[in-house]
């Protein structure tokens, strides 16, 4: 393929859910021989970026160390409890309060300014949560592509009534977890969600943050913030989903749905003990709750009991981080059908394996789409904000079930829902249908072709 001959700069926060699709896309462009590829993210991700190199270099540009206040992985336990609490609005509010830090965002903006001055990109490809990168691209008049690892409505729906979005006014507001077909109480709750979001910014404490943001933006020469700027100013919005997973609405032409953006599989070769173990099984439930989930001892005990209840018919593979394994009962008390790994070499290889029959997940954007890409029905324990929106879409699409009380992980509830998605054929059939649609959407190769076809690179 002909080289673009002009620098392409990827920019992402370090969280896996935002970073991974862009790493795959950068790797695909490298595989196709595209020159002048750069990737800006936080310093701890240097090795991951270097690992994307295939035929042509992908040069790492450091945004510095991770700022703990901006990374959900490093938030204190009290903040974690606030952003994952059962009240969806309060959790939504807690995320905004924790992540809306103008001074810290300005640090990343200034560092990215230095990188842009060096690289002089013709095009930027930016994860949808890196507002500082969108601000810089707009202020410098650099064409940019927005990467969205969520449902399209997540970025096209306004969070409050004063901003016009690209969905109908009665559409479920992001992070509410409300369905499209609402009863009267839900319609009222949907409108209140928007009004309460607006009211949050009228609070004196948040007002001081807004004033601080205005001072910083004026000093940097930036216009007032507008949540729809990232959509309206983008050359293209690359969304890692398909329309059939979201509720129907008129999707703008610039939003291109490519399904899950995955690397070539298998990712692991040679002596992979997890794959060898899977080869010997007939039915496996895979439990993986992402990199942010922090389980309690009681929740870990409940999940061990879930595996015990499934022992007659199913094996259970559980990716449980090493730092949480001290919460497990003694090894001698674990059920024989439970295999625990602190890390699996490739979650994608696990989900692609024919022995895996269901995925028990937190419902994050990547995991939700990846499980369905491989035709696996889901049981969802929503962790926070966007997870609730994916969970309700999955429920209405008949590809998943959602726990009644995710915060407690009631054993009977989990076993009942896992049994249903494992035994009722419709869940598997619908998941296979969505998987076929995602594969037809083209994934990483379609995304790469769309980027290389943009006027900025021609």
The yes-or-no verdict on residue 56 having pLDDT over 70 is yes
- Report pLDDT for 270: 75
What CATH number should be reported for the domain holding residue 421? 3.40.50.2000
Tell me: do 209 and 280 sit in the same domain. no
Tell me: do 242 and 328 sit in the same domain. no
Tell me: do 315 and 252 sit in the same domain. no
Tell me: do 361 and 385 sit in the same domain. yes
- Report pLDDT for 1: 41
The yes-or-no verdict on residue 243 having pLDDT over 90 is yes
Tell me: do 178 and 316 sit in the same domain. no
Count: domains in the chain:
2
Hey, is 298 helix, strand or coil? helix
The answer to the question of residue 2 being in a domain is no
pLDDT band at 271 (very low <50, low <70, confident <90, very high): confident
The yes-or-no verdict on residue 238 having pLDDT over 70 is yes
- Report pLDDT for 5: 52
The yes-or-no verdict on residue 290 having pLDDT over 60 is yes
Tell me: do 131 and 167 sit in the same domain. yes
CB 175 within 8 A of CB 190: no
Name the burial class of residue 232, with classes exposed (0-12), middle (13-18) and buried (19+) by CB atoms within 10 angstroms of its CB: exposed
Output the pTM of the full model.
Answer: 0.95
Residue in 217, 257, 223 with CA at minimum distance from that of residue 239: 257
| pLDDT tens-digit series, residues 20-52 | 999 999 999 999 999 999 999 999 999 999 999
**Largest pairwise CA distance in the chain:** 65
Range of the domain at 338: 273-440
| pLDDT tens-digit series, residues 320-377 | 999 999 999 999 999 999 999 999 999 999 999 999 999 999 999 999 999 999 999 9
C-alpha span between 377 and 358 (Å, rounded) = 5
The answer to the question of residue 389 being in a domain is yes
The yes-or-no verdict on residue 3 having pLDDT over 60 is no
The answer to the question of residue 264 being in a domain is no
Residue in 302, 303, 332, 298 with CA at minimum distance from that of residue 319: 303
The yes-or-no verdict on residue 401 having pLDDT over 60 is yes
Tell me: do 430 and 304 sit in the same domain. yes
Hey, is 215 helix, strand or coil? helix
Tell me: do 378 and 398 sit in the same domain. yes
| pLDDT tens-digit series, residues 365-385 | 999 999 999 999 999 999 999
Tell me: do 21 and 61 sit in the same domain. yes
Tell me: do 92 and 221 sit in the same domain. yes
- Report pLDDT for 73: 87
């Amino acid at each position: 393929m002909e080289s673009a001959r002009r620098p392409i700069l990827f920019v992402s926060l370090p969280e896996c859910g935002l970073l991974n699709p862009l790493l795959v896309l950068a790797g695909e462009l490298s595989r196709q021989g595209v020159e002048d590829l750069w990737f800006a993210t936080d310093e701890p991700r240097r090795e991951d970026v270097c690992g994307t190199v295939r035929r042509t270099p992908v040069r790492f540009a450091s945004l510095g160390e991770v700022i703990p206040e901006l990374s959900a992985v490093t938030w204190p336990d009290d903040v974690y409890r606030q952003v994952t609490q059962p009240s969806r609005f309060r959790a939504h509010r807690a995320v905004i309060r924790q992540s809306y830090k103008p001074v810290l965002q300005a640090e990343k903006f200034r560092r990215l300014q230095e990188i842009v001055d060096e690289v002089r990109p013709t095009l930027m490809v930016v994860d949808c949560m890196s507002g500082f990168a969108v601000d810089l691209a707009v202020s410098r008049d650099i064409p940019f592509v927005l990467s969205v690892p969520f449902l399209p409505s997540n970025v096209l729906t306004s969070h409050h009534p004063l901003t016009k979005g690209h969905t109908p006014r009665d559409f479920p507001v992001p992070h509410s977890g409300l369905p499209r077909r609402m009863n009267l109480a839900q319609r009222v709750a949907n409108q209140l969600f928007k009004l309460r979001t607006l009211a949050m910014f009228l609070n004196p404490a948040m007002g001081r943050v807004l004033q601080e943001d205005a001072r910083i933006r004026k000093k940097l020469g930036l216009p007032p913030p507008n949540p729809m700027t990232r959509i309206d100013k983008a050359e293209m919005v690359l969304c890692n989903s398909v329309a059939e997973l979201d509720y129907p609405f008129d999707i703008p032409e610039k939003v291109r749905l490519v399904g899950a953006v995955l690397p070539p599989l298998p990712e692991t070769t040679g002596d992979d003990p997890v794959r060898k173990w899977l080869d010997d099984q007939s039915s496996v439930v895979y439990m993986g709750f992402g990199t942010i989930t922090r389980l309690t001892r009681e929740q870990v005990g409940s999940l061990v009991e879930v595996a015990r209840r499934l022992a007659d018919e199913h094996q259970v593979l559980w990716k449980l981080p090493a730092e949480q394994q001290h919460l497990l009962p003694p090894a001698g008390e674990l059920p024989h059908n439970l295999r625990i790994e602190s890390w699996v070499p490739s979650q994608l290889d696990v989900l692609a394996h024919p022995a895996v029959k269901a995925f028990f997940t937190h419902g994050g954007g990547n995991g939700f789409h990846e499980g369905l890409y491989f035709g696996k029905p889901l049981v969802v324990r929503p962790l926070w904000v966007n997870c609730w929106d994916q969970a309700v879409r999955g429920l209405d699409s008949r590809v998943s079930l959602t726990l009644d009380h995710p915060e407690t992980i009631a054993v009977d509830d989990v076993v009942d829902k896992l049994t249903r998605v494992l035994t009722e054929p419709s869940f598997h059939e619908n998941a296979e249908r969505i998987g076929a649609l995602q594969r037809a959407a083209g994934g990483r190769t379609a995304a790469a072709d769309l980027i290389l076809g943009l006027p900025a690179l021609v």
